[in-house]
Amino acid sequence: MVKFYTAFTEEIDDAESAVQEILEQLNPAENALKNTIGIVHFLSDMVENGVMQAIIDALPFELAGCVSTYTAVSGRYGENALSVTMLTSDDVAFSVSIIEGVREKSREQLLDEAKLLCNEFCKTEMPKMVMPLMSLVQHFGGDDLIEAVNTLPETFPLFGTIAFDLTTVRGANYALGKGKISESIFVLVAFYGDIEPKFHVATALNFDEDFGEVALITEAAGNVLKTVNNIPALSYLKKADLITVDNNVADSGIWAVPSILSYQNGTTIARAFLGVVEGTEYIFAPGMLRSGAKIKFSYLDSEKTLLSAEKLMVKLTEAKENCALMYSCGARAWALGVNIFDEAKKLAEQADEYLSKNGEPLIYSAAYSGGEICPITDNTGKLVNTLHNYTLIACSFN
């Protein structure tokens, strides 16, 4: 069994005040059990002004985490904020490992290191889950990590995020582990012992709606979509009036085309296409694509985003799952326009509903993501590790 405690501060420029608020809310001297870890989400500014290092130095347990432009915990939320979720237990153990220098290493090098690390996690016992917190790099993403896990004789569930700073074009996509903060690091937290995580995925896309026909991916390479129905991908999107003649996304201020992929094993996922491969009529996504998959293009709006968050929270309420880690796609925040905190407000409202119906609080932590990693079930009922876009994912514990 694992216990959750959350803390939240908007003292992003004052290290002493931030440390005091976090310690007072978590009270580790009384609440921490034998094994403890903190999952932390923070602004990139807090790395550069030293506040994050002060938090690391002050807390008497290990921290793992990453940047999040917006964060919410147990009814509180904000843009300029830091949150810490303290997970503590006498019969659940946590192990943190890192892969450093990921920007400088090739995909093959990173894949080899990830495979070695996954085998190391399983040396004495199989983890109940592993939580990746990954700096955003173009040549190795969530699907590559999933590939490494899939080489094991027996796989374990992955639940986590790709760090994504929404505040600037370049971003400062820091991750934190083993006391190190870097834009060039992958952090993985393994959970062992008496813990049974449950996974939930809610998409802002309506799988029953689309802009047109269900099509077929006729050629793909890695994360690049080359042809749809044997038509170059860019030409297909222009024909569907999703892309303008000057290669911009129609009726949108950002270059992101939502799609829904259906695979032969019965899994259905949302995937974003983020741009055109220069000099081609191909488009690219943050995750892997497979020839032969069915694809249809959809759209994103604020109403669907908030409804999907409500549905996920209702599931938690009905199942009485009162502790949850959550990640929401950054595109969901963009879909809300000027009402950027409406999803966080929806979570807080539903948490009140949880308390009203179940007589105990829902303790949760939510942060924004550049790619959500969470298992889904295939048509045999087996958990399949999957990289998502446009989703709100949750890992809950009773």
Same domain, residue pair 377 and 321: yes
Q: Tell me what percent of the residues of the chain surpass a pLDDT of 90.
A: 66
Residues 192 and 96 in one domain: yes
Question: ∠ at Cα 197 (3, 187), nearest 5°?
Answer: 85
In a domain, 207, yes or no: no
Mean local confidence (pLDDT), 43-59:
95
The CA distance from 297 to 215, in Å, is: 9
Domain final residue pick, 249, 268, 299: 299
Tell me which residue range forms the domain holding 278.
215-299
- pLDDT at 158 (0 to 100): 98
Cβ(350)–Cβ(367) below 8 Å = no
Residue 169 predicted with pLDDT over 50: no
**Count of the separate structural domains present in the chain:** 2
HSE of 37 in the Cβ direction (CA atoms, 13 Å)? 21
Residue 208 lies in a domain: no
| Whether 41 and 149 share a structural domain | yes
Same domain for 16 and 161, yes or no, is: yes
> Of 266, 299, 332, which residue is a domain's last?
299
What's the pLDDT score for residue 7? 98
pLDDT at 377 over 60: yes
> What is the pLDDT of the chain when averaged over all its residues?
90
Q: What is the mean pLDDT of residues 141-149?
A: 91
Same domain, 59 and 110: yes
Residue-wise pLDDT for 171-224, tens only, equals 588 999 999 999 999 999 999 999 999 999 998 776 555 556 889 999 998 888
Average pLDDT on 78-101 reads 96
Distance of CA 180 to the CA centre of its chain: 20
Domain termination residue (choose one: 299, 327, 355) = 299
Question: Based on the domain organization, do 101 and 56 belong to the same domain?
Answer: yes
Query: 164 and 222 share a domain?
Result: no
Return the pLDDT at 172.
84
361 or 257: which leads in pLDDT:
361
209 found inside a domain: no
Tens digits of residue pLDDT in 275-302: 788 889 998 887 788 899 999 887 777 8
* Residue 20 included in any domain: yes
